[in-house]
Every structure is written in structure tokens, then in C-alpha cells.
Amino acid sequence: MKNFVRAGNIVVFIVLMLACATAAMAGQWIQVVTSETGYELIKKAGSGSETFCQLGDVLIINSGDVFNDQILKTDPVNVMPVRPGEKLYLITTKDPAVFNMVFPGTRTVYRDMGFIVLLAGETAAMNLMSKQTDFTKVELLPGNQVVLSRPLTTGITRIKSEDALAKFIDKLDMPAFMQDLTDLVDLKTRYSYVSQGQKAVDHCEEVLKEMGYATSQQPYNIGSSRTNNLIAEIKGSDEDKFGQVLIVGHLDSTSESPRSNAPGADDNGSGAAGVMALARLLHESGIKPAATVKFILFMGEEQGLYGSKAYVKALSATERPTIKAVFNLDMIGFDAVAPLSVMIETSSFNRPMVEKMQKLALDYADFTIHTSFNAWGSDHAPFLQAKIPAVLTIESEFSSNPNYHKTTDLIESINQGLCLQILRLNAAAMYAYAIDAGRLN
């Protein structure tokens, strides 16, 4: 229901008047249709002049005359003409403020799940380009690409409960997860520039040390300010063969008054407590993994992914290829509209890893999965830029989270059910990549 309603509300279908259609026939056109219909139309027309971009259930077709001459006859409704000088742009953002922004001089073709597709002329496009940050990417709409897959629904009836992996993830300790999350929120702020930020790092180091992990802090600068990433590690029994698996999330928080009050329960207390929950699960299972597993909490994410950038930069050329998988947890606790849903995000070169995770999700988790191949705006991005296989799991409703970067990002708004499902998926992935790597084939 949710997707249907969203598609109806958010995707802007321009109804074209017939007079207009005849007048502008010889131009370029944009057509927004359901992906199923869209692929059908492309197959039928086969003019070769069209390009498409898939965003979930929707296909945006950008086409020339031949294609549209045929399509207009069959489906004259959801078509908009491209004005001279206009091009299609794609904005990918993790920032709800940008997601809800009005861009003067542009026309909206699509807006959902952190993606905006706009038609913009040259001047408007320059304004768009100036919006690019570490959290917002602006580019020409890619041609013939799937940016966001159609949603994939997992179902409780299919969930396996008897095999070793199921028994492993069933031991996820949710009360301990909620306690860790509460402790992080109780610090009042984990802003990177204040001493309370370092206090959060030291607190988590204590928790992970107590579990028996070898820990270390990696110092680096954010501008002139000094901060530390936290790394907890268990050596694999066969690191030569299975390499390293990284479970990561950012620990820092921000808000309108970040120095004194930035509870960051969802962003990213949920992911940071999630990293610790996965560390606790592995520790309490008593299993020695085949791969070396590192649990990493980054600081400086909110200022521009400083922690993950520093981590990737410090990797030697020989170490990089030993990292087989990076799982980034950022905002895993907001879900206001049923059913529970998650976004899995990576780059297209890393499609095989996402396909393995989708398979694990079908067997061991219960939510709707949206898969994005346009990675941006969190700590998986620097890894992917270095061609290290990395995947982000994030609540799919992040762009409508009203508490984002606000002092109201409190425990009360955390959906524990969503946290559990996202942790189950990451726990299954940790098992598959670090403990029983044979499962991957």
C-alpha cells in the first residue's frame, strides 16, 4: 500500500493536452511509467533512440521522435516535452532538507526515497550543482541504468529457523542493544568537536573490551580538531584465505545545538549500538570466525565522512584487497509507515554482494527491501570509491524522518522491530562472510 500511495502522490505525472502534443511532436520527450509497462514499451518501439532509468517501480524514459510517435498513440497521458536547453538531472541525497527543497526553474519528474529527478535548463542546473556535498550527489540522470531496484518483499513464512545460521542470529540480544542505545543517548551529545564525543568513543571502547575484543583508537583531524575512530578486532582462524570483514557505523551525532544537545538516537545511535550488538552476538556465540572481523565506530561522519575517509586512506595497498566485505549501519530505527522496510545501498560493481544479501534477507529477515545502486552520503562511500565491496543498510524512510539532526531524535522514535530485522540481516551477512564463507557459493 505504501508504495502505491507514494507513487501516486510523489511522482509527478504531467497530463499533456492534445493540442500541445501535436505542436511539439518533433522534440524530445520524457515519459514516466511503471517499470513493467516501460520495459514493454521499449521492447515494442525498439527505435534505439530512447534511454531509460529505473527508480523502483517507475521507469523514466527519455526518448526521441520515433519512440514517442508510437507511444503517444498507445499511451498519451504520462508524457512531458523537454524544452530547449533542458536536461534530466538526478539528485541522490541523505539529507531530508535537500530532499524537500524547491529548486527554482526546474520541473520535478520524480521524488521518492532520497532520489529526485528534475528537468533543468542551464542556469537552474548550475544552482543544482552547487548543492553537491558529501551527503548530496548531483549528476545528469544516468542512461539505461537501474538506480533503484523494484522493492523485494520478504515473508515471515519463508524464514528459516532450524539451520546453524538461524540459531546464530536468533541469539541477537535486543535488550542489550536497547541498553547500549540508551547509554549513547544519555551522553546528551556525541558531537565530534566536543569532549563528550571522545567520551562516547571511550565508553564504547570499554564495552567492546569487556566483550574480549582487542581495541584501538585511530586518531585523525577534522580541520584543526583532533578525533578518533574506534576499532575492535577478533583475528580470524584463516585470515590468509578469508581476509577481513568490517562491520561499521558512525558514532558521532549532530543537531541544531550540537555542542550540548544532540541525542542522535536514530542517527546514528541505532547503527552504533547495532555494531556493538553484532560484536556481542559474535562474542557470545563462542565461534572463532574464519575471517578477521573488525567492528569500527567512526567519528566525524556528520562533518563530511571524515572517519571513514581517514580509515580508507590509511589502508595500505596490500591490505585493501584483503577486505572482503564492509557492512555500514547508519539510521536503522525509523519506520513510520507499514510494512517495515530497509534500503540496501551499494555501487553497481558490487552487485554480487547485494544479491547475496537479498538472498539472506529472504531466508532470515522480514521486511521490504529497496536496493539502490547510487551510493552516497554515508561511511560506505569512501570504501566503494576505493573499490572495496561495501553495503549500507538504512531505514528506507530516512527522507521523511522528522527528527533528523534535531534534538528530538530520541529513543521514543526508535522502531525496535525495524532495528531487529536490519540487525538480523547484517548478522546473517556477518555469518556468511566471516564464519561460514562456503555459504556464499
DSSP string, 371-432: EESB--SSTHHHHHHTT--EEEEEETTGGG-TTTTSTT--GGG--HHHHHHHHHHHHHHHII
Nearer residue to Zn ion within complex by CB, 52 or 311: 311
* CA nearest neighbour of 152 among 406, 384, 356, 367: 367
For the chain, give the longest Cα–Cα distance: 74
Q: How far is the CB of 135 from Zn ion (least distance, A)?
A: 9
Q: For residue 409, state whether it binds Zn ion (rule: CB under 5 A).
A: no
Nearer residue to Zn ion within complex by CB, 234 or 332: 332
Give the range of 64-72, 155-163, 326-334, 387-395 binding Zn ion by CB under 5 A: 326-334
Nearer residue to Zn ion within complex by CB, 20 or 336: 336
Peptide bond into 339 cis (omega under 30): yes
Give the range of 157-165, 265-273, 356-364, 383-391 binding Zn ion by CB under 5 A: 265-273
> Cα separation of 353 and 359, whole Å?
10
Kindly tell me which residue out of 95, 252, 330, 395 binds Zn ion, with binding defined by CB under 5 A: 330
Give the range of 30-38, 208-216, 230-238, 328-336 binding Zn ion by CB under 5 A: 328-336
Give the range of 7-15, 263-271, 336-344, 366-374 binding Zn ion by CB under 5 A: 263-271
Nearer residue to Zn ion within complex by CB, 330 or 366: 330
User: What cell does 121 get?
Assistant: 535548463
Nearer residue to Zn ion within complex by CB, 78 or 268: 268
Q: For residue 134, state whether it binds Zn ion (rule: CB under 5 A).
A: no
Nearer residue to Zn ion within complex by CB, 112 or 252: 252
Contacts of 250 (CB under 8 A, 6+ apart): 268, 271, 272, 297, 298, 299, 300, 301, 302, 307, 308, 330, 378, 379
**Binding letters toward Zn ion, positions 275-314, x by CB under 5 A:** ----------------------------------------
Q: How far is the CB of 216 from Zn ion (least distance, A)?
A: 23
Give the range of 142-150, 214-222, 266-274, 335-343 binding Zn ion by CB under 5 A: 266-274
Nearer residue to Zn ion within complex by CB, 159 or 187: 187
Q: How far is the CB of 175 from Zn ion (least distance, A)?
A: 24
Number of residues that bind Zn ion (CB under 5 A): 3
User: What cell does 394 get?
Assistant: 538504512
Helix (H) or strand (E) holding 55: strand 51-55
Strand partners, 106: 120
* CA nearest neighbour of 362 among 153, 126, 115: 153
Q: How far is the CB of 18 from Zn ion (least distance, A)?
A: 48
Kindly tell me which residue out of 95, 267, 335, 409 binds Zn ion, with binding defined by CB under 5 A: 267
> Cα separation of 101 and 119, whole Å?
15
Give the range of 131-139, 264-272, 347-355, 420-428 binding Zn ion by CB under 5 A: 264-272
Task: Give SS3 for 257.
Answer: strand
Nearer residue to Zn ion within complex by CB, 205 or 252: 252
* CA nearest neighbour of 57 among 40, 37, 38, 34: 34
Q: For residue 345, state whether it binds Zn ion (rule: CB under 5 A).
A: no
Q: For residue 268, state whether it binds Zn ion (rule: CB under 5 A).
A: yes
Strand partners, 258: none
Peptide bond into 403 cis (omega under 30): no
Hey, what amino acid is at 400?
Answer: S
- Asked if residue 259 lies in contact with residue 194, where contact means CB atoms within 8 angstroms, the answer is yes
Binding site for Zn ion (CB under 5 A): 267-268, 330
